[in-house]
């Protein structure tokens, strides 16, 4: 399209982005095909590709190595190097840390988990995060200099634009932190920080059943309850970054009392349906995983555990009905620890929802387990890398 003349640096970047975008769409291509698809001359394409090879973004391969071999002399194909760039996604939580590393195609090439439950200071948490990112990169054989963006999720209210954690009641010493700045200093690349539940909904859009849902809600249901809301491709963050804090919904009749005045306690809804409430129903006393035995037993069909799941599902529906009435979502994906109860939980939620709302969304259990937040963080980082590599700014 732009084949010379004018501002050379800009033209070169336009041509490079165009070549990269075509290779991303079409997979490996011969130079001649790349010339056709980019509407650039063969000579310009060859120059652009040479420069991209120098930058480590593309490479030449023999046709036989990248697909079925045509007859005759093997053609040289140009392809994107998946390992040309990597992103890191980090889930920073009060109990554990999960780091995932993805290549340019979005494939997860490494993962690392850490126990954060004994960390009491922000500096301790930041050092812990750095260590586990280093371990994940080493495990995947990924050179740190190929990491082009980092995404990080944390509980609490986040000013996503500046990457600042305003407050997170569940994490010690975790408020008013320039988290993006601190991580950028550690990793030397762009860093994006987002509320953990907002990242979970991005992951459901990316890897889950939510690809085509116009209004997609991901409810994270564990010790606390929160919802991430996507309207098209736009995260509904709210005026104060507090949209989707459904844990603070009134829970049921007994909870239709004056609401919360601070963020140090659980909200009425999560108090009624979270893992602590389940443990209270069963008399379980495990501190680390208060409802684990009951949830597993329900999945296996244990009658007593199924009764507990039914009770908790009814409370869940009572509390969550307003969200369905207000948003009329296409799809609600339920994730978080409580989903270990599996299909019986989904069945109970669907049954109790009948007749309670004008319209009913499709419901699904998340298939992402406890990886949703880290995957969403990687997606956020990958969006940035793709913007920089494949589009002309």
Q: Which is nearer to its own copies, 67 or 259 (CB)?
A: 259
Select 260 or 292, whichever has its Cβ closest to its own copies.
260
Nearest Cα neighbor of 100 from 18, 181, 203, 169 is 203
Position 265 contacts its own copies (CB under 8 A): no
Q: Which is nearer to its own copies, 311 or 357 (CB)?
A: 357
Least distance in angstroms from the C-beta of 233 to its own copies: 10
Residues in a beta bridge with 152: 90, 193
234 touches its own copies (CB under 8 A): yes
CA 67 vs CA 79, 80, 144, 147, 333: distances in Å: 12, 14, 30, 28, 37
**Residue closer to its own copies, measured from CB, 283 or 355:** 355
Binding test (CB under 8 A) with its own copies, winner from 160, 236, 276, 367: 236
CB nearer to its own copies: pick between 243 and 281: 243
When asked if residue 358 is in the footprint of its own copies (CB under 8 A), the reply is: yes
Compute CA distances 235 → 191, 200, 217, 229, 293, whole Å. 18, 11, 10, 6, 35
**Least Cβ distance, residue 196 to its own copies (angstroms):** 16
- Per-residue binder mask for its own copies (CB under 8 A), 197-216, x = binder: ----------------xxx-
Selected range binding its own copies among 50-58, 105-113, 127-135, 255-263, rule: CB under 8 A? 255-263
Question: How far from 344 is each of 37, 40, 341, 349, CA to CA, in Å?
Answer: 51, 58, 7, 9
Binder among 53, 63, 160, 243 for its own copies (CB under 8 A): 243
Using CB under 8 A, pick the residue from 8, 72, 303, 355 that binds its own copies: 355
Crossing angle (nearest 10°) for helices 275-282 and 292-299: 80
How is residue 161 annotated by DSSP? Answer: T
- Bridge partners of 167, per DSSP, are 157, 175
Which residue in 228, 186, 210 sits closest to 373, CA to CA? 228
Confirm or reject binding of residue 357 to its own copies (CB under 8 A): yes
Q: Work out whether 328 is an interface residue with its own copies (CB under 8 A).
A: yes
* Residue ranges that bind its own copies, judged by CB under 8 A: 213-215, 227, 229, 231-232, 234, 236-246, 248-250, 252-253, 256, 258-261, 263, 318, 321-323, 325-330, 355-359, 361
């Amino acid at each position: 399209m732009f084949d010379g003349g004018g501002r050379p640096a800009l033209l070169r970047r336009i041509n490079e982005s165009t070549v990269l975008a075509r290779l991303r769409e079409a997979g490996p291509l011969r130079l001649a095909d790349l010339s056709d698809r980019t509407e650039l001359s063969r000579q310009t394409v060859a120059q652009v590709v040479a420069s991209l090879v120098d930058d480590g973004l593309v490479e030449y391969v023999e046709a036989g190595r990248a697909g079925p071999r045509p007859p005759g002399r093997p053609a040289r194909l140009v392809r994107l190097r998946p390992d040309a760039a990597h992103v890191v996604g980090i889930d920073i939580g009060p109990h554990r840390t999960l780091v995932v590393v993805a290549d340019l195609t979005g494939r997860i090439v490494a993962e690392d988990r850490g126990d954060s439950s004994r960390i009491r200071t922000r500096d301790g948490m930041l050092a812990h995060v750095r260590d586990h990112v280093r371990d994940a990169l080493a495990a995947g054989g990924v050179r740190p200099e190929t990491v082009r963006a980092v995404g990080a999720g944390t509980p609490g209210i986040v000013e996503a634009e500046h990457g600042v954690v305003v407050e997170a009641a569940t994490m010690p010493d975790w408020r008013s932190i320039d988290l993006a700045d601190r991580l950028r200093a550690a990793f030397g690349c762009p860093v994006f920080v987002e509320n953990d539940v907002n990242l979970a909904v991005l992951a459901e859009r990316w890897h889950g059943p939510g690809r085509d849902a116009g209004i997609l809600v991901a409810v994270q249901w564990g010790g606390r309850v929160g919802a991430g809301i996507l309207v098209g491709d736009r995260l509904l963050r709210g005026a104060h970054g507090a949209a989707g804090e459904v844990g603070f919904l009134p829970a049921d009749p007994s909870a239709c009392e004056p609401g919360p005045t601070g963020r140090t306690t659980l909200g009425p809804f999560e108090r009624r349906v979270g893992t602590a409430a389940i443990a209270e129903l069963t008399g379980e006393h495990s501190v680390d995983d208060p409802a684990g035995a009951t949830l597993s037993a329900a999945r296996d069909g244990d009658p007593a555990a199924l009764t507990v799941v039914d009770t908790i599902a009814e409370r869940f529906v009572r509390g969550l009905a307003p969200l369905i009435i207000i948003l009329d979502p296409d799809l609600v994906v339920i994730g978080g620890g409580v989903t270990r109860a599996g299909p019986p939980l989904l069945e109970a939620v669907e049954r109790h929802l009948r007749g309670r709302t004008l319209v009913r969304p499709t419901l699904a259990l998340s298939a992402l387990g406890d990886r949703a937040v880290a995957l969403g963080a990687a997606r956020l980082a990958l969006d940035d890398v793709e913007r920089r590599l494949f589009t002309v700014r």
